[in-house]
Chain A
Amino acid sequence: MARMIFRSLGWMVATALCLTFIVFWLTNLSPNLEKLAKTQGNARMADEEVISWLDNRGYSQPLLVKYGEWLGVLPGYVIEGSDGELRARCSTRGLTIDDAPAFCGVLQGNWGFSTVLRDDVSTIITTRLGLTGKLMFWVMMVMVPGALIMGILAGMREGSRLDRSLSTVSILTTATPEYVSGVVFIAVFATSTFGMNWFRGTATSAMDDANFNNFFLPVITIALYGMGYIARMTRASMTEVMTAQYIRTARLKGVSFRNIVLKHALRNALIAPFTVIMLQFPWLLNGVVIVETLFNYKGFGWTLVQAASNNDIELLLGVSVVSVFVVLITQLLSDIGYVFLNPRIRIS
């Protein structure tokens, strides 16, 4: 078990390094840097000025060196610029060059400064993640029980009318991406067109004070899209368990159907959906970005869109690191959880 976790952790770190390097490379391509120089410096800079602006701020170093500095394994640059000013990567926060530490990268907790939101990337990410965490918590509270109940009800009597209706519902929800269901929900439940103006169409006010009125639509929009998929997986796992030998034995012994489902089948049927739920996180991230944009809820996904569309390099890097780690950690947890839940693997 411990060996397996170490192996997974090793792969995880390798993947994270590769992915962050790719993001770093893509965000540090020369057209992006040129745009950065023009937005930060002067929009009408000549080409030579752009180059010297970038030279002075360490952007012209080799890519690997820059990546090492950003990561915090190489000492930050100290460059005497063409304008005579001495600049150091680590002296940005009011520190003089002599006081500044040699290393200041992500590993030292220095995530950089957002040029668009005018704040430290680490503070932005913690506050925004908190807001998204709130959203995700409620999504999970709606999605997981809903999907499990749907899947179990459908899978306990395969082929019944209930099974067919619930399967149709779950196909329908997987076929409805968030930007479709969100738009439809807002149109129906947040405007007076159809006479059902029950909820708020924006969730901006939910950032401070979330209530049923302003938070229900975003939560249900994300939850529905993931729900169908989990429900189908639960159903598949449940139908498989219900045809197992020990269920037949229990039924022949005269155990009531209700007890068979609740006491014998349910526990074994829930192993597979657990993995699916954990692996659903990366997709949920997708949904979060769409829903936060649609409902103007300024969380993590909204930050991603802002950073990406405004060429805010350091913020985008920070956001990518966090989202890549969320994906990888959920994969790791699903591996570990699968082993833990499945006694056949755990004991051998």
Chain B
Amino acid sequence: MEPLSWTGALGAVLNPVVIITVSVLAITVLAQIMAGFFAPAVTLQSNTDGTLMARGGLLGRLETALKWTFVLNLCLAVVYLLGGIILSYQGAGILGGMARRLLPVWIALIVTFAVSIRFKRGLGLYGKLFDSTVGMIGFGLVMFWVYAAILSGLFDMISTHDPLRQISGLKNKLPGVPVPEDGLFPYYLLGGDNLARDVFSRMIEGSQIVIAIAPLATVFAFMVGITVGLPAGFYGGKLDVALTFLANLILAFPVILLFYLLVTPEIVATGIPSYMAAVLFIFPIVFFGVLLNSRYYTQPAKRTPLLIVVMAVLGWLYLSLISQDGTALTFLPGWLDGFDINPGILVVFVSVVFVNAPTVFRIVRGLTMDIKTRDYVAAAQTRGEGAWYIMLWEILPNARGPLIVDFCLRIGYTTILLGTLGFFGLGLPPESPDWGSTINEGRKLLLIFVHPPLPPALALLSLVLGLNLLADGLREESLRD
């Protein structure tokens, strides 16, 4: 079989067109930025019949040109995608092949966007996201990887080969190389890595690890930060000084040093990460316990059963999480120990939560100090509400805007931290397909073979970019009202 080219037969026709339209787009953007310095601004003119008319001038015309060239480029991209889905692998090349493999993701994305835009007025802040272009682009990028992770992880779609399978003869082969064995997917779409594994499949499978760990670790960091930050900001005084000192202590630690100190096998053997997990994971239980108790303590008939059920479930989850075979903490009998997490992933998880929690603490503390002077807090105090009720049910909901924005940014930052850990080969096993480890693996031969580390690098970049754009869109929309 012939190796695939990047764009196949379709490219022979379309590539020259794309080169022209992309360069026109680039020139227009540059011209518009330049023109922004000296050309007169676009103004509005009111006509006698009561309508408004834009008086464009040079800037206005450039704006229109930019819009249309952008639409044209978008159309061409769609043609490539559709071409890939319709034509054969030879016909549409590597890009088309990837587009075809990703078909379930495209469908899921289109459905999500169609439904969300249709009902956006009734969906609160989430719906408002679809009013901002930046927010939509960000959301699209994030959901692309979320769907890729879910569909490849749970339904075994998208990825073309087993990410750990080595096929002899395909070591460091360039993208589009045909697979010599029968019964498998006929190509390595993005080539083979230095152990002859499929780069494309590893990139897709790697998204599962990031998508599973990063948001969850951020949630835990927020639980810790909120549970500690609310009282620090609300009570102030000695408690605040002590907690702030502790947070600054962790923040003054260079992150990489902390990782090296926590994640090395020797330290893991002493059980310190397990103890840290035991401490950090107790915060969600405390959080939910206090949350429910402060709300319902006036209705004991409702509160007591609710608390018992929630505490039992969370407590069991907590105990099975921290009790691990082969680590310092093994106390639950096997029949009660619901699940064991890969110890490497647990250590990574703990250190990421540990690094992120102090920053969340600082944000929550600052917001609390600001909000506690508001009238509705004084009103609640006059009503005789307890301190925790005020913190969790009056202050926290009113601090949600900045917290949601920071949550998005922080998932991105956690993704970067996970990549950093992988890049230094810490925590996760070396054959793991996560993006950081794959970049680390690929960089050793980077000057000779470029293709193995680039796909995971660009994947990580696009996910973090998506999260940052999403945060930007959310911030813009939440400031608007």
Contacts and interface: CB of A to CB of B under 8 A. Distances in A.
Interface stretch (A57-65, A93-101, A178-186): A178-186
A293 B453 contact: no
Contact of A162 (B36, B63, B252, B454): B36
Interface string A7-33: 000010011001100010011011110
B252 A183 contact: no
A30 B270 contact: yes
A162 B468 contact: no
B358 interface: no
A183 B264 contact: no
B412 interface: yes
A320 interface: yes
A183 B260 contact: no
Interface of B is mostly: helix
Contacts of B439: 179-180, 183
Nearest to B252: A327
B446 interface: yes
Given A19-B252, A183-B442, A31 B450 contact: no
A286 B255 contact: yes
A161 B32 contact: yes
A286 B256 contact: yes
A45 interface: no
Interface string A304-324: 110011010000000110011
Contacts of B264: 308-309, 311
B257 A31 contact: no
A140 interface: no
B253 interface: yes
B261 A177 contact: no
A160 B36 contact: yes
Contacts of B148: none
Given A161-B36, A191-B450, A15 B248 contact: yes
Interface string A127-169: 0000000000000000000000000000001001110010100
Given A177-B420, A286-B255, A328-B252, A172 B465 contact: yes
A184 B454 contact: yes
B447 A186 contact: yes
B256 A183 contact: no
B193 interface: no
B269 interface: yes
Contacts of B257: 23, 304, 308, 319-320, 323
Contacts of A171: 465, 468-469, 472
Interface stretch (B96-104, B318-326, B456-464): B456-464
A157 B42 CA distance: 14
Contacts of A327: 252-254
A268 interface: no
A191 B270 contact: no
B435 to A, nearest CB: 9
A171 B137 CA distance: 13
Nearest to B447: A201
A35 B472 CA distance: 48
A231 B450 CA distance: 31
B249 interface: yes
* Interface residue tally on A, bucketed by range: 35 or more
B256 A289 contact: yes
Contact of A31 (B260, B269, B440, B472): B269
Given A171-B472, A308-B264, A183 B443 contact: yes
A324 B254 contact: yes
Interface string B104-124: 000000000000000000000
Given A161-B32, A308-B260, A183 B270 contact: no
A301 B251 CA distance: 18
Nearest to A172: B465
B419 interface: yes
A187 B453 contact: yes
Interface string A183-223: 11011001101000000011000000000000000000000
B310 interface: no
A285 interface: yes
Interface in B232-286: 245, 248-249, 251-257, 260-262, 264, 266-267, 269-270, 272
A334 interface: no
B33 interface: yes
A290 interface: yes
Nearest to B422: A179
A294 interface: yes
A347 to B, nearest CB: 26
A294 B443 contact: yes
A167 B471 CA distance: 13
A2 B256 CA distance: 34
B464 A177 contact: yes
A280 interface: no
Contact of A26 (B33, B267, B443, B467): B267
A289 B251 CA distance: 17
Nearest to A319: B257
B423 interface: yes
B29 interface: yes
Interface in A323-347: 323-324, 327-328, 331
B460 A165 contact: no
A23 B261 contact: yes
Contact of B457 (A31, A183, A293): A183
Contacts of B37: 162
A290 B33 CA distance: 34
Interface of A: 11, 14-15, 18-19, 23, 26-27, 29-32, 35, 157, 160-162, 165, 167, 171-172, 174-177, 179-180, 183-184, 186-187, 190-191, 193, 201-202, 282, 285-286, 289-290, 293-294, 301, 304-305, 308-309, 311, 319-320, 323-324, 327-328, 331
14 contacts: A19-B249, A23-B261, A161-B33, A171-B465, A177-B460, A183-B446, A184-B457, A187-B450, A187-B454, A282-B254, A286-B254, A286-B256, A305-B260, A327-B252
Given A308-B257, A324-B254, 7 more contacts: A26-B261, A26-B267, A179-B439, A187-B454, A190-B447, A290-B256, A327-B252
Going nearest first, the 9 A-B pairs with the smallest beta carbon separation are A308-B260, A31-B266, A175-B465, A175-B464, A187-B450, A180-B457, A177-B416, A193-B450, A179-B423
